Homo-oligomer: A and B are copies of this chain.
Amino acid sequence: MKQLINVPETVVADALRGMAVAHPELTVDVENRVVVRGDAPVLGKVGLVSGGGSGHEPLHGSFVGHGMLDAACPGEVFTSPVPDQMVRAAAAVDSGAGVLFVVKNYTGDVLNFDMAAELAQDEGIRVAKVLVQDDVAVTDSLFTAGRRGTGGTLFVEKMAGAAAQEGAPLERVEGVARRVAESSRSFGVALSPCTTPAKGSPTFDLPAGELELGVGIHGEPGRERRAMMTSGEIADFTVDAVLEDLPPDGPVIALVNGMGGTPLLELYGFAAEVHRVLGERGVPVTRTLVGNYVTSLDMAGASVTLCRVDEELLRLWDAPVRTAGLRWAA
C-alpha cells in the first residue's frame, strides 16, 4: 500500500504542522503534540480534553473549537498519547473551572489519562473523567478490557462540549458526558483492512469475498466473518446489534460513519438502509450525520452509532459548533 507521507516516523508531526497552517484559529504545539483552541483558557469555562491514538481523524484534533473540545492530544498511530501531553492540555485550557477528560476505553488511554488526572490534580487543576465504551460488538478485545470506545465519542464531545460552552459547571458537564456515553451504542463492519504507516501493509487479512462484522477501529476482530453482504443486509445486522443493547424507547440521533476508505456515495446509500431498518423497528430518527468522522486510516467499511436523546441532549446537539471537522450555526 502506498501512502502520501514522508517517513513513517514523522507522520503525526507532519499532520500537526498541516493543522497549524490550515487552522490559524488553533494553537498547535507540534513538538509536544497538543492541539488547543486559540482562545483557551476561556474564563469560567470548563475545559474539555480528549485524545487517543492517531489514525482516527477527524477525531479528536479536528473537533477542537467553539462548542466542542478545548484540546486534543494525539498519540502515535493507533498508540495512546502519554500523560505529559494530557497534563499540558489540561493546564492550557483550565481557567479555574476544571477540566473533563473524555477517554475512549483502550487500556493505554485509560491508564495514561488516569495518571494525567493525578498529575494535573497535583498542580491544582480539578479533573473529572468520563469513559466511552459504546461498541456493542465484543467485550474484551485487543487493547481493551470491557467494551471499546468508538463513534459514541463524537456524541460525548459534541454534547458535553455544548454544555461547557454554555458555561455549565464541571459536575454538570461531566453529568452530560456520562449520560451521552450511557445513551450511545455502536457497531462497525470492515470490508478491507487498514494500513498503518509503520507497517506499510494491511494490518490484518480479510479474504476477498468476506467482511468482518463488529470490527474495531484499529481492525480488532469483531464477532464473525461472513460472505460479503449487501448494504441492506449489513444495515439489518448492524442496526439490530445496536438496538439489542439499546432498547428503542425514544428518538435517536444516528451517526452513519465511514471507516475512511468507503466513498461518501456508498455511505449515503448505507444511510438510506439504516433509516429503513430503524423505521421498520419503530425507532424515530431526529438527526442523521453521514460521513467519515471516527476512522481507521484507509479501512473500507462503516459503523452505525445511535444516541438516544431527550430534549436537553437534542438541544446540546443542535447548539452551534465551530471546529475543523464539525461545524454548524444555531
Enumerate chain A interface residues (CB-CB to B < 8 A).
1-7, 10-12, 14-22, 54-55, 57-58, 62, 77, 191-192, 208-209, 211, 228, 230-232, 234, 256, 260-273, 275, 285, 288-290, 292, 295, 297-298, 300-302, 320, 322, 324, 327-329
* Contacts known (A14-B268, A55-B265, A269-B15); A292 close to B289, Cβ less than 8 A: no
Q: Are B327 and A18 in contact (CB under 8 A)?
A: no
Given the contacts A234-B4, A298-B262, A302-B4, A269 and B327 also touching, CB distance less than 8 Å? no
- Which residue on chain B has the smallest CB distance to residue A289? B22
Compute how far the CA of A263 lies from the CA of B294 in the bound complex, rounded to whole angstroms.
Answer: 11
Tell me whether B15 and A265 are in contact (CB under 8 A).
yes
| A270 (CB) vs chain B CBs: closest residue | B4
Contacts of A269 in B (CB 8 A): 4-6, 10-11, 14-15, 17-18
A18 and B318 CA atoms in complex are apart in Å by 20
A-B CB contact pairs (8 Å), 6 listed:
A4-B262, A4-B300, A5-B266, A11-B269, A14-B269, A21-B271
Instruction: Give the chain B neighbours of A300 by CB distance below 8 A.
Output: 2, 4, 298
Question: Across the interface, do A5 and B230 meet the contact criterion of CB distance under 8 Å?
Answer: yes
Q: In the complex, A324→B320 CA distance in Å? A: 15
